[in-house]
Structure 1
Amino acid sequence: MEPVPVSDSAQIQGQFDTAEVVIVASAFGADVIRRDGHVAWLAAAAEAGAAGFEVRRELFRSDADTSLDALALLGHAIERFGMWPVYSTPDSLYRDDGSLDRVALSAAMAEAGALGARFVKLQLGAFDGRADGDGLRDAVAEGRARLVVENGQLREGGLLSQFVELFAALERESTGGVLGMAFDIGNWQWPGEDPLHAAKALAPHVEYIHCKAVVGEGARRFAAAPAADDASCARIFSVLPRHVPRGIEFPFDRDRVASDAKRRVAWLAAA
Structure 2
Amino acid sequence: MTNTVEVAIVASAFGADPVRTAGHRKWAEASRRAGAAGFEVRRELFGYEADAALQRLRALGKQIAELGLWSVYSTPASLYAADGQLDAAALSLALDQATALGARFVKLQLGAFAHHAYGEAIATHMRGASVRLVVENGQLARGGSLAQFVGLFDALKREGCANVLGMTFDIGNWAWCGVAPLDAAAALAAHVEYVHCKVAVGEGARRFAAAPATDDPRFAAVLDKLPRHVPRGIEFPLDTARIDEDAAHRVAWLAAA
TM-score range, shorter chain: over 0.9
User: Deviations 1:14-55 (Å, cap 9, x if unpaired)?
Assistant: x97010000000010011101111011122110100000000
Identify which of 211, 220, 238 aligns with 1:234.
220
Residue 202 (structure 1) aligned with residue 188 (structure 2): yes
In structure 2, the partner of 1:9 is none
In structure 1, the partner of 2:78 is 92
In structure 2, the partner of 1:104 is 90
Q: How does 1:179-198 map to 2 (within 5 A)?
A: 179-198=165-184
The alignment's TM-score, normalised by the length of structure 2, stands at: 0.98
> Which region of structure 1 is more displaced relative to structure 2, 159-168 or 216-225?
216-225
Identify which of 236, 243, 249 aligns with 2:235.
249
In structure 2, the partner of 1:129 is 115
Secondary structure (helix, strand or coil) at the match of 1:144 reads: coil
Residue 158 (structure 1) aligned with residue 158 (structure 2): no
CA contact (8 A) 1:110 1:143 kept: no
Deviation at 1:142, TM superposition (A): 2.8
Please give the alpha-carbon distance, in whole angstroms, between the structure 2 residues aligned to 1:178 and 1:156.
Answer: 21
Residue 20 (structure 1) aligned with residue 14 (structure 2): no
Please give the alpha-carbon distance, in whole angstroms, between the structure 2 residues aligned to 1:157 and 1:195.
Answer: 15
Secondary structure (helix, strand or coil) at the match of 1:219 reads: helix
- Aligned partner of 1:152: which letter? G
CA contact (8 A) 1:123 1:157 kept: yes
Residue 39 (structure 1) aligned with residue 25 (structure 2): yes
User: Deviations 1:114-148 (Å, cap 9, x if unpaired)?
Assistant: 00000000000001111011111011113211000
In structure 2, the partner of 1:221 is 207
Secondary structure (helix, strand or coil) at the match of 1:90 reads: strand
Please give the alpha-carbon distance, in whole angstroms, between the structure 2 residues aligned to 1:37 and 1:53.
Answer: 13
- Aligned partner of 1:243: which letter? H
Secondary structure (helix, strand or coil) at the match of 1:22 reads: strand
CA contact (8 A) 2:137 2:173 kept: yes
Residue 69 (structure 1) aligned with residue 55 (structure 2): yes
CA contact (8 A) 1:118 1:144 kept: yes
User: Deviations 1:63-93 (Å, cap 9, x if unpaired)?
Assistant: 1100111000000100111100100000000
Amino-acid identity (%):
62
CA contact (8 A) 2:214 2:253 kept: no
Please give the alpha-carbon distance, in whole angstroms, between the structure 2 residues aligned to 1:229 and 1:72.
Answer: 40
CA contact (8 A) 1:45 1:53 kept: yes
Structure 1 regions of 5+ residues with no counterpart? 1-14
User: Deviations 1:152-204 (Å, cap 9, x if unpaired)?
Assistant: 00000000000000000000000000000100000000010110000000000
Q: Which runs of 4+ in 1 moved over 2 A?
A: none
Deviation at 1:229, TM superposition (A): 3.1
Deviation at 1:228, TM superposition (A): 3.3
Question: Matched residue pairs, number?
Answer: 257
CA contact (8 A) 2:38 2:71 kept: yes
User: Deviations 1:224-262 (Å, cap 9, x if unpaired)?
Assistant: 111233111210111100000000000111110000000
Q: How does 1:40-59 map to 2 (within 5 A)?
A: 40-59=26-45
In structure 1, the partner of 2:135 is 149
Please give the alpha-carbon distance, in whole angstroms, between the structure 2 residues aligned to 1:40 and 1:51.
Answer: 16
CA contact (8 A) 1:183 1:210 kept: yes
- Aligned partner of 1:269: which letter? A
